[in-house]
Structure 1
Amino acid sequence: MGCRWPAHTGISLGGASGGATVAQCAGMIRPFAIGIDVGGTKIAAGLVQRDGTILSRYTTHAHSEREPETVIAAIEAACGALLEASGVSSSDIEAVGLGFPGNTNGAAGVVLVCSNLPAWAHVPLRDIVASRVGLPVLLDNDCNLAAVGEHRYGAGRGSHNMCYLTLSTGSGIGIIVEDRLYRGHTGTAGELGHVVISPSGPACTCGKRGCLMAYCSGIGISRMAYERIQAGADTVLRDRAPADGRRIPGEVVAAAARQGDAVAREILHTAGTYAGIALSMIIQIINPEVIVVGGGLTRMGDLLEAPMLVAMHEHTQPELLDSVIIKPWQLGDDLVVIGAAAEVFASAERYQAQFDARANRFIVEKAERAGVSSRAIHPPEPLGQAERTRLERVEGVIFDIQRYSLHDGPGLRTNVFLKGCPLRCDWCANPESHLTRPQLALFASHCIACGQFGEPCPTIWPANRDISAALDRESVPEFSQRAAVCPTAAMRWLGERRTAGDIIGEVLRDAPFYQGGGGLTLTGGEPTMQPHLAEALLRLAKAECLSTAMETCGHTHWALLESLLPYLDHILFDLKHVDGEVHRRYTGVDNALILSNLSRLAALRAPLTIRLPLIPGFNASRETMRAVAQFVRSLEGPITRIDLLPYHRLGASKYAALGRSYPWREQPTLRETDLDDLAGVLVQEGLQVNIGG
């Protein structure tokens, strides 16, 4: 399998330099990472926990604008000081993340060039630092790591495509695409600050002319200030500029602007305008969900922000403006430190996911070599952002979302009821589930004769007619309007078309209560009657780490059922009868396909729970129980338990509301002694029994 860090360290597994250990090759992601922000005049470092909390900090200026060897020594000292101050062992450190202000090739671990630090050219910083500190090291551009920090812990949380725009000494962007940092072919993506927007413009530190950074950065603001001073402008900046000609700090220019200095205000207006142009470029080229704007210049407030937003709107196509949210940074001056640690953890987690997937494939391949290839349920593929977006847009028709269920899978469940069922069981408690389209229902007992319409609503539908199908075209809008405003929901549509993303959003409201394995259960109806919606909901739920379950009658194509298996933690299989003719007489379909699918699931060792609805007049007999028990015991698995679901009449009122009669109205409910007797037969046949699901 290899190790998750050698590609980022240059250290061999178990090397004398203290590199990656066995625990860093599979599982056991360490609880801490060291994040280091290497600046031109300051090194900031922190010992960071996996939740983004900084446990210990260290800052030094000892390396200020010095040669690489001095900087490397300062980095080494920072790591040692953090470990000593915190008391944390190096064995608890996942890796060191280094953020550097220049072009880097993270995969190679090399600083390519830094226009602000000329001595840094093709320096193998990652491997040098790794050999010094005895820990794995990850190297990247500081703006890239800032983007990771805001995405994982800050203003970009919850987004999948995000950009971070830094407006500081320099300017640039970090890009997150489908929840991962985008580095480009050689690791230098995001150098927006060095995009030329005015070929005849002022010189940039990179050697070109008219770069964006020559306007909207601390360097650019200082340049414009000196130009105005040298041109003889009347400005207080003349007296506040450093005597040695060093850069005029942005906060000095901002203070002058707040005091009414026209030159300072003009400079910041120019800087803000070009920052707005930068935002418009990001929106139109990258099309992110969120752009987080940070860096020291943002502390200037409206002096910079107001012209920035005006320019962004002016230079962006109007239809694109509504697709993006602009947010201020949240992590402040700790951003690169936290972001460097965040990328360490993210890289470790990605490797662990790959390791787990390969381990699963190894198990499957081993089983196939043993001759059981037909009995493998393959693990689901990782869900990328493009696929997530596609799944969120899948539509279907549901008729209820039932919260806090205790009987449809382990733990507390949120049940989503999909419309459509191939069976027509005479006792069905959910007749509104039979058709896949919405149906108009009238619960006349709820009507209070509100008088909102000239003609009163009907008190009953015509018998044995699907009124929503029978209504003429002129009547549909009228009854739909009545249903929309009915104060007691006496007239209402059963079933509504919704997207998978909308449904999952509602399910996730219950996530805090899913302690002990609770989650999502698909039921109905028969969920496989809407296979695209069922798959979308299950895959989205798994992407949110929810437990998933599905109740099925089993009367579906095996290919549909098999395609959903990778996304299911539990299958609740409703077995009604083993006699094909009896099954057809009372449900409308033969049970050959049902029994076949159940046998195949059992052979796959699928996470299966068999549930038997006990229906008087259909299967509530000792003979049927014995036949069911014998069939269940014949399945591979083995399956040793069966759940009994006693018949009830709770759905009877829905039949009248839909203009239908209830065929099972005359059948009595089962007494407790009857339930115990039937359960006893199954126990005698060697099965464990649970009454009530």
Structure 2
Amino acid sequence: MTEQASSVSRRGTNLPAMGDFNQSVILDAIRRAPKGLSRVQLVPATGLSAQTISNICRRLIDAGFILEAGKESTGPGKPRTMLVVNPEGRYALGVHLDPTVMTFVMLDLTGAVVMRVRKPTPTETDPAKIINKIVREVSKLITSSGVEKSRIAGVGIAAPGPIDSVRGTVVDPPHLTGWHRVPLRDAMADATGLPAILDKDVTAAAIAEMWAGGSNGTGSFCFFYLGTGIGVGLVVDDLVVRGSSGNAGEIGHIVTDPNGPPCFCGLRGCIEVTCMPQALVQEAEELGVLDDSRVGNDTTSVDARFTQLCDAANAGNVIAVEIIERSAVRLSRAVAVVTNVLDVDRVVFGGPFWARLSEYYLRKIPELLEELRAARRIHRVTLSGSVVGDDVAAVGAACLVLDRALAPNPKALLIAH
């Protein structure tokens, strides 16, 4: 593979019936190369024959997925015509339903955000009313973008788990009251007239990092999503790990402090009651960092109070700093459990609460993690923040659509008889 091609390579097959899979392999290879690839470079990058590549590239150009972007000298011989993804070839919409805020994005075919909107999540307990609000915002986004609806490949929805991935339903998430088996995927598809995909927010966040994170998003990594709740998106050898029901990454009941407060699950010191923003706000109220007004446990109040806690820490309040650093110690134990089980190369942190914690966590967790890792003498695990930003779950939701359209899926090779 050339220097311009990614270190991650999906291989194609020269069987005639595998055209769709091979098209995805070629698109994925071109997308991952920062400067694009020539047809000659695509041969070693994909394992496909020159004739297969030539035929598929012509179809992709005719369909507007890729462009010829001038010539470049890539080795001996005459300059080669470079192929790049056409950003305007298709678009994808992403929606993140968080208990506190709803985020809407539109991505072009390269995965770049071309529009984004944030709105507070309605305090309604009726899912139908919230879905109607989501649909209205999606329609406004499409209108404002000026993009023809025919060029939009679909809408991805990232929601708190648990989800039923087969039925496309949201199943009793802890912070969304009344969401019992709500058919969110089909409701969005029916209302928008677009293909819809539903996935967990933590999984969507990991996919966003795969698409936009550069070296952060390759190989094996875990994405610790810090939002109203805490979960982890899992990627092993460039494949997303969803679990048998699509609900992998639920880590709320990993015990991080055996002497900590009791959890409703019957254990003590779970992430649920020691690391989540609501738990830290409660700790700050008990220790006098925040006035014990107990303004409410709704997610909007917790978000505002959590900001006050972080502001106090940044202003030098010693107790506030200790609260956040204790949470870093606790979370490092959960990170160690996940990294030891999966033997990943890196840990990526992100989500709407990450920016407020990043300074403290990146100072404390790396050293603590090294003490707890089983394979520390064999290889390092790097820790970093997401390059995607606070909207990572919404971006990931749109990437679900692009991933289905562009990334090669080995299941396509399973031919039914």
TM-score in terms of structure 2 length: 0.71
The counterpart of 1:111, out of the listed 167, 170, 181, is 170
Alignment partner of 2:224: what SS?
strand
- The equivalent residue for 2:183 is 124
Q: Deviations over 1:605-650 (max 9, x none)?
A: xxxxxxxxxxxxxxxxxxxxxxxxxxxxxxxxxxxxxxxxxxxxxx
Summarize the Cα distance change of 1:207–1:91 in structure 2 as closer, same or farther, 3 Å threshold.
farther
Deviation at 1:95, TM superposition (A): 1.2
The counterpart of 2:359, out of the listed 296, 302, 316, is 302
Deviation at 1:330, TM superposition (A): 0.6
Aligned: 1:331 with 2:388: yes
Summarize the Cα distance change of 1:325–1:78 in structure 2 as closer, same or farther, 3 Å threshold.
same
- The equivalent residue for 1:140 is 199
User: Equivalents in 1 of 2:228, 2:181: separation in Å?
Assistant: 22
The counterpart of 1:149, out of the listed 188, 208, 214, is 208
Summarize the Cα distance change of 1:206–1:298 in structure 2 as closer, same or farther, 3 Å threshold.
farther
Once the two structures are superposed, the pairs formed by residues 590-609 of structure 1 within 5 Å of their partners are none
User: Equivalents in 2 of 1:329, 1:196: separation in Å?
Assistant: 25
Alignment partner of 1:45: what SS?
strand
Aligned: 1:311 with 2:368: yes
- In structure 1, runs of 5+ residues without a counterpart are 5-22, 230-234, 366-693
User: Equivalents in 1 of 2:64, 2:228: separation in Å?
Assistant: 39
User: Equivalents in 1 of 2:211, 2:233: separation in Å?
Assistant: 13
User: Equivalents in 2 of 1:166, 1:77: separation in Å?
Assistant: 27
Alignment partner of 2:348: what SS?
strand
Deviation at 1:207, TM superposition (A): 8.3
User: Equivalents in 2 of 1:84, 1:142: separation in Å?
Assistant: 26
Aligned: 1:90 with 2:149: yes
User: Equivalents in 1 of 2:230, 2:382: separation in Å?
Assistant: 20
Alignment partner of 1:194: what SS?
coil
1:142 partner amino acid: D
- The equivalent residue for 1:186 is 245
Kindly name which structure, 1 or 2, has the bigger radius of gyration based on alpha carbons: 1
- The equivalent residue for 1:407 is none
1:333 partner amino acid: D
Contact 1:145 1:339 in 2 (8 A): yes
Alignment partner of 2:154: what SS?
strand
1:238 partner amino acid: D
Contact 1:97 1:340 in 2 (8 A): yes
Summarize the Cα distance change of 1:352–1:315 in structure 2 as closer, same or farther, 3 Å threshold.
closer
Deviation at 1:318, TM superposition (A): 5.6
Deviation at 1:79, TM superposition (A): 1.7
- The equivalent residue for 1:224 is 283
User: Equivalents in 2 of 1:212, 1:352: separation in Å?
Assistant: 34
Contact 1:156 1:162 in 2 (8 A): no
Deviation at 1:93, TM superposition (A): 1.3
Deviation at 1:243, TM superposition (A): 4.6
Contact 2:257 2:330 in 1 (8 A): no
Deviation at 1:262, TM superposition (A): 2.6
2:307 partner amino acid: E
User: Equivalents in 2 of 1:193, 1:286: separation in Å?
Assistant: 18
User: Equivalents in 2 of 1:165, 1:157: separation in Å?
Assistant: 13
- The equivalent residue for 2:291 is 238
- The equivalent residue for 1:175 is 234
Deviation at 1:191, TM superposition (A): 0.8
User: Equivalents in 2 of 1:316, 1:149: separation in Å?
Assistant: 26
Contact 1:166 1:293 in 2 (8 A): yes
Aligned: 1:287 with 2:287: no
Once the two structures are superposed, the pairs formed by residues 243-642 of structure 1 within 5 Å of their partners are 243=295, 246-247=301-302, 249-295=305-351, 296-317=353-374, 319=376, 322-350=379-407
Once the two structures are superposed, the pairs formed by residues 666-677 of structure 1 within 5 Å of their partners are none
Deviation at 1:222, TM superposition (A): 1.1
Contact 1:147 1:175 in 2 (8 A): yes
Deviation at 1:317, TM superposition (A): 2.8
2:325 partner amino acid: H
Deviation at 1:84, TM superposition (A): 0.5
Deviation at 1:67, TM superposition (A): 2.1
Q: Deviations over 1:292-320 (max 9, x none)?
A: 11232343343333232332123223635
Deviation at 1:64, TM superposition (A): 3.5
Contact 1:156 1:290 in 2 (8 A): no
Give the root-mean-square deviation of aligned CA atoms.
3.1
Q: Deviations over 1:60-94 (max 9, x none)?
A: 22623542111110121122111111111221111
Contact 1:99 1:142 in 2 (8 A): yes
User: Equivalents in 1 of 2:199, 2:404: separation in Å?
Assistant: 12
Q: Deviations over 1:300-354 (max 9, x none)?
A: 3433332323321232236357332212111112211211111211122346776
Summarize the Cα distance change of 1:54–1:228 in structure 2 as closer, same or farther, 3 Å threshold.
same
User: Equivalents in 1 of 2:246, 2:155: separation in Å?
Assistant: 19
2:168 partner amino acid: G
Q: Deviations over 1:564-601 (max 9, x none)?
A: xxxxxxxxxxxxxxxxxxxxxxxxxxxxxxxxxxxxxx
Summarize the Cα distance change of 1:171–1:87 in structure 2 as closer, same or farther, 3 Å threshold.
same
User: Equivalents in 2 of 1:174, 1:60: separation in Å?
Assistant: 24
1:254 partner amino acid: C
User: Equivalents in 2 of 1:328, 1:32: separation in Å?
Assistant: 26
1:287 partner amino acid: D
Summarize the Cα distance change of 1:351–1:322 in structure 2 as closer, same or farther, 3 Å threshold.
closer
User: Equivalents in 2 of 1:49, 1:91: separation in Å?
Assistant: 14
Alignment partner of 1:122: what SS?
coil
Q: Deviations over 1:435-479 (max 9, x none)?
A: xxxxxxxxxxxxxxxxxxxxxxxxxxxxxxxxxxxxxxxxxxxxx
1:249 partner amino acid: R
Higher relative contact order (CA 8 A, sep 6+): 2
Aligned: 1:34 with 2:93: yes
TM-score in terms of structure 1 length: 0.44
Summarize the Cα distance change of 1:187–1:252 in structure 2 as closer, same or farther, 3 Å threshold.
same
Percent identity, please: 28
Deviation at 1:28, TM superposition (A): 7.9
Alignment partner of 1:254: what SS?
helix
Contact 2:100 2:228 in 1 (8 A): no
- The equivalent residue for 1:78 is 137
